[in-house]
Structure 1
Amino acid sequence: MFASKKNIVRLLMMVLWVLLIPVLTYVASLDLKIGVALVVGIVGIAVSLVCVINYKLGFYIFITISLILPLLERISGSTQSIGVVMDGLLLSTLLGCILRRGDDSIKKVQFMKDALLISFYLYIILLIIEIANPAGHRVFAWFIFFRVIARNMIFLGLGLHVFNNMKDVRTFFKFWIAICTAAAFYACLQQWFGLMPYEKAFIAKYPKMFTTTMIISGIRIFSFMSDAASFGIIMACNIIICLILLTAKMANLNLKRKIWLIISILLQALALGYSGTRTGYVMLPVGLLLFLLATLRNRNTILIAIAFGFAALVILFGPFHSNGTIIRIRTAFLGKQDASMDVRDVNRHSIQPYIYNHPLGGGVMTTGGNGLLFYPGHPLANLQTDNGYLRAVLETGWLGILLVAANFFLLIAMAIRNYFRIDGEVNKLLMLGIAASMLEMALAQYAQDASTLVESSIMLNALTAIAIKVKYLYALNTQS
C-alpha cells in the first residue's frame, strides 16, 4: 500500500514537470525575463528542498553554488543578489539540520570551555556593542556586516554537524581539492585562450568591479570566483595542502592519487601565477616553512623542499625577462617597493592618531568604499586599508584586532595539537595542512582582508569546523 502511494506521488511529479515545459515555453515567448525568472525560481526551490531533506549534501551544495555564483552572474550579464541566494541555501540547510536534529557527536564539543569558540563569542559580543559606537552607529550598515558574520557562524555550526568522523573529513578534502583544481583548470583556459565573450561583456558593462583586475602586464585571472585576490589566496592555501599530502607513504596514499595530486598542484601553481596575487606568492614559502618544521625528519619532506626551492630559484633568477607573470612574481620577493605599497604605508601612518584616540574604533563598515557609501564625511570613509588587521583596529578598536589575531593563533595551535595527537599518517597530514594553510591566511590578512572574502571565508570556516571536531573526537581520545 505504501509503495503504491509512493509510485503515485512520483507519477504526479513527472506529470507536473512535463506540463511545466509548455507552460514555461509559452510564458518565455511572452516575456523572456519572466520566463527566466520562473525557471530560476523553480530550480532554486528544488535545490532548497534537497538542502532541507539532506543537510550534509546541502552543505556541499552551498559551497559549490557560492563558489560559482560569480560565474553565473557573468553569464547572466547583470549583477545579481548573490548574498540572498547564499542566505537562502544556508538557511534551508540549517532547517534540514534542525529537523534531523543534527548528529550526536556534536555533544562532545565543549562549547563553553573551548578557547577558540570563546574567542568567537567575544567577537560577536564586541560587534553587538559596536551598534552603539558613537563614531559610527548606523543600524543598516551594522546589519549588513553582522549578516556576513552570522552567515559564517551558521556555516561553521553546520560544519560541526557534517564532520562526524575522519571519513567525513577526507570526503571534504577530496571535494575541496577537486573543485579548486577545476577552478585552476578554468583559470588556465582563461589565460591560454582569453576570457569568454560573456566575461568580456560583463567587464565592459561593470568596469568599476574590475579596477584591480587590469594591470600593466595584462589581466589578472579570476577563474569562476569573485576576483583575482580571493582566487589567488585559495590557490596558495590549496597548493600547500596538496604538497603536504604528497609526502605520504605509498602504503597510505597510492601512486594514482599522488599523480592526481601532482596534476592538481601544477594546475593550481599556474593559476596562482596567472592570478597576479602577490600576497599568494608570499604565502607559499610561509606555509611550507611550518610544514618543514613539523616533519623535517621525513625523507619526502626534504625532497619536496628541494623541488620547491629549485623551482623558486628558476623563477626568481632564471633567464625569463619578458613573461609578465614571472615578472610579477619576482616583484613580490625581489622588486623594489612600488607606488601602491607607498600609498598603503602613507595611509597606515596618517591614520595612527585616529587609532590611538578611538579605542572602540570608528564603527563597522566605516572604512574604504563602504564608509563612503554609508558614512560620507566620516574620517575613515574611502580610506583603503588593504589590510585585514588594520581594518579590524580601525572599525572595532584594539579589542577587535586582538580577537582577530587570537582566532588565527588558537586555530593554528589546535590544528598543530591535532597533528601530534591523532593517529594515521594521512589524518596527521590533513591536520598539518590545516595549520599551514591557516598560517598562510593569517599572513594574507596583512596585505588583504582575506578572511572576509566569500571564497576564503568558506575555506576558513570549513577547516575550523574540522579542527574543532577532530580535537574532541580523536585528539582528546573522547571517542566512544
Structure 2
Amino acid sequence: MLPFLLFFLYQLFTHPKLGIYSTIFMAFVANGITRYVSDAPIGLAVDGILVLSFIAIFVRKQKVEWSEAKSGLTMASVIWMLYNFLELFNPEARSFEAWFYAMRGVSLYMFLAVPLTFILLKDRKDLDLYLNIWLILSMLGSLNGLKQNLIGVDSFEQAWLDAGAAKQHILFGKLRVFSFYSDAGQFGASQAHTLVLAVILALQSGLSLKRKAFYYTAAVLSLIGMFISGTRGAMAVPAIGFMTYLFMSKNFRVFGGGILLGGLIFYLLKFTFIGQNVYAINRMRTALDPNDASLLVRLENQKKLASYLASRPIGGGVGSAGNWGLRFSPNSFLAQTPTDSWFVRIWAEEGVVGLTLHLIILFYIAIKGGMILWNLPDKNLRQQFLAIHAGTLGIYMASYGNGILGQMPTGILLYVGWALMFKAKKLCGMNYPFASKK
C-alpha cells in the first residue's frame, strides 16, 4: 500500500481539492472496509484526509483566497464546533475519549469540510464532479445491496451480523440490507437521499439521452435500495424532498398535485392492505401505525430522557449516549437508554441548549439556501441546487426517526452541498458579496 499512499499524497498536495472528493469516497466505503480489515484505523481516514487537505493548502506556493470562506455558513459551523468543544467541560461528561470520537460526526466534519469547499471548489465542473461521484458511489451501494438481497451476505458480513448486528438487521427472517454502509438505517436514508437528487437532476432541460439515462438509472437503483433496506424512516426523505422541490419550482399547480399524490400514497398505506404480502411495503406501512411496538418504546424512552434532562440543560456530554456511550460508559443512564433519533441524541448529549442551537443552525441553512435559490437566473444550475436543497430537508425529517444527519456518507454530502449552494450566485456569474474584489 505504501507506493499507492505516496502517490496519493503527492496528488493531494499538488491538487488539494482531491481531498474533498477523496473524503466523499471514504465516507461511503470506510464502514464497509472495517468489516474486512478490522485492525486498520479506517474510521479516522475522513479526519486525516480533511486535515491533510488543509495542510496542502498551507504548503502550496499559490495564493489562497481565504475570503472565499467568508460566509454565514462558515460562521455557523464555527459556532457549532465551539459549543461542542465547550461540552468537553460538561460536568456530566464521563469520558474524553467518548467526546473525541463522537464530536467528529457531530461537528468536526462540518467545521472542516465547509471552509475547504468554499476555498477549493470554485466552478461548475467541481459541482458536476461532486454530483457524479455521489451518484456513482450510491449506485455501487445499490448494486451491492441487491447482491446481498438476492444472493446473500459474504462471510465477513455474516461475521458482522453474528457479532450482534443481526438483532437490528434480520427481522422476521428477512434481511434488512445494509450494503457497505454502517447499517441498514443509514443505507436506506442515503438511498432515499440519492433518489431525490437523481430524479430532480433528470428534470433539467437540454440533457443528452445518455445523461438522462444515467440519472434515471440512479433513481431506479436508489428506489430499490431504499425499499430493500427496510428502513421506514427513509420514506420521509422523498416525501419532504419532492414537496420542497415542487414548492421551490414555483409551479403551485403541480405542487398541489404533488400534495394530492402524497395524500393518496398515505391513504393507501394507512387505510388499505394493498401490497401487504410484499415485505418492503408491509415494513413501510408499520411506520404509520400509532400502536407500533417500536414507536411506543421510543416514546417511552423519550419520557425517561425528558425527566433526566430536566435538570441538565447542557445534556450529559458528547459521546455519552448511543454506541459511544455503550463503549466508554456502559453503565450510565444515557448509554442504557436508546436515543434512536439524531435530534434526540443531540438533546440527550448536549441538552435543550445544544438542541436549540443545532436547530437554529439547520433552519438557517434551509431558509438561507431557499432564499439564494428562489430567483437564481440560471435554470439548470438552479435545478442542481434544488436537488441538494430538497434532499437536505428530506434528511432533516428522516433524522427525527433515525440517527441519520451526522453519519457517513450523508453528513459529508450535506456539508459539501451546503457550501456549494451558498456559492450558487457566484457560480452562475452574479455579484457575490464575499468574492474577491480582484
The answer (yes or no) to whether the contact 2:376–2:382 under 8 Å persists in 1 is yes
The answer (yes or no) to whether the contact 1:243–1:304 under 8 Å persists in 2 is no
Match of 1:339 in 2: 293
> Aligned equivalents of 2:258 and 2:185: distance in 1?
26
Instruction: Give the CA deviation at 1:63.
Output: 1.7
Instruction: Give the CA deviation at 1:353.
Output: 2.1
Match of 2:277 in 1: 322
> Aligned equivalents of 1:353 and 1:80: distance in 2?
41
SS of residue matched to 1:450: coil
> Aligned equivalents of 2:218 and 2:241: distance in 1?
17
- 1:314/1:43 CA distance change after superposition, 3 Å: farther
Match of 1:70 in 2: 31
Match of 2:95 in 1: 138
Match of 2:146 in 1: 188
Please give the TM-score of this superposition, normalised by the length of structure 2.
Answer: 0.88
1:255 equivalent in alignment to 2:212? no
Amino acid at match of 1:90: L
1:95 equivalent in alignment to 2:55? yes
Match of 1:60 in 2: 21
> Aligned equivalents of 1:103 and 1:261: distance in 2?
37
Match of 1:47 in 2: 8
- 1:346/1:462 CA distance change after superposition, 3 Å: same
SS of residue matched to 2:377: coil
Indicate which of 167, 174, 182 corresponds to 1:211.
Answer: 167
Range with bigger deviation, 411-420 or 371-380: 371-380
Match of 1:279 in 2: 233
Match of 2:412 in 1: 458
% identical aligned pairs: 23
> Aligned equivalents of 1:365 and 1:174: distance in 2?
34
Moved over 4 A (4+): 101-106, 298-319, 471-476
**How well do the aligned residues superpose, as a CA RMSD in angstroms?**
2.9
Instruction: Give the CA deviation at 1:447.
Output: 1.1
Q: Deviations over 1:87-115 (max 9, x none)?
A: 3333333322222367755524434xx2x
Instruction: Give the CA deviation at 1:427.
Output: 0.7
Instruction: Give the CA deviation at 1:344.
Output: 0.6
Instruction: Determine which structure has greater relative contact order: mean sequence separation of CA pairs < 8 Å that are 6+ residues apart, divided by chain length.
Output: 2
Range with bigger deviation, 469-478 or 278-287: 469-478
**Structure 2 portions without partners, runs of 5+:** none
Please identify the structure whose Cα radius of gyration is greater: 1
Match of 1:22 in 2: none
SS of residue matched to 1:380: helix
The answer (yes or no) to whether the contact 1:102–1:161 under 8 Å persists in 2 is no
Indicate which of 254, 267, 270 corresponds to 2:221.
Answer: 267
Please give the TM-score of this superposition, normalised by the length of structure 1.
Answer: 0.81
Match of 1:86 in 2: 46
**Structure 1 portions without partners, runs of 5+:** 1-39
> Aligned equivalents of 1:290 and 1:406: distance in 2?
19
Alignment of 1:5-404 (within 5 A): 40-76=1-37, 78=38, 80-100=40-60, 106-111=66-71, 114=72, 116-136=73-93, 138-148=95-105, 149-204=107-162, 207-249=163-205, 251=206, 253-297=207-251, 319-333=274-288, 335-404=289-358
- The size of the alignment, in residue pairs, is 432
The answer (yes or no) to whether the contact 2:323–2:335 under 8 Å persists in 1 is yes
Instruction: Give the CA deviation at 1:377.
Output: 4.3
Amino acid at match of 1:323: V
> Aligned equivalents of 1:97 and 1:305: distance in 2?
47
The answer (yes or no) to whether the contact 2:50–2:113 under 8 Å persists in 1 is yes
The answer (yes or no) to whether the contact 1:228–1:277 under 8 Å persists in 2 is yes
Amino acid at match of 2:100: F
Range with bigger deviation, 186-195 or 100-109: 100-109
The answer (yes or no) to whether the contact 1:159–1:462 under 8 Å persists in 2 is yes
- 1:214/1:45 CA distance change after superposition, 3 Å: farther
The answer (yes or no) to whether the contact 1:408–1:439 under 8 Å persists in 2 is no
SS of residue matched to 1:211: helix
The answer (yes or no) to whether the contact 1:419–1:428 under 8 Å persists in 2 is yes
The answer (yes or no) to whether the contact 1:152–1:461 under 8 Å persists in 2 is yes
Instruction: Give the CA deviation at 1:234.
Output: 1.1
> Aligned equivalents of 2:3 and 2:19: distance in 1?
17
> Aligned equivalents of 2:261 and 2:214: distance in 1?
18
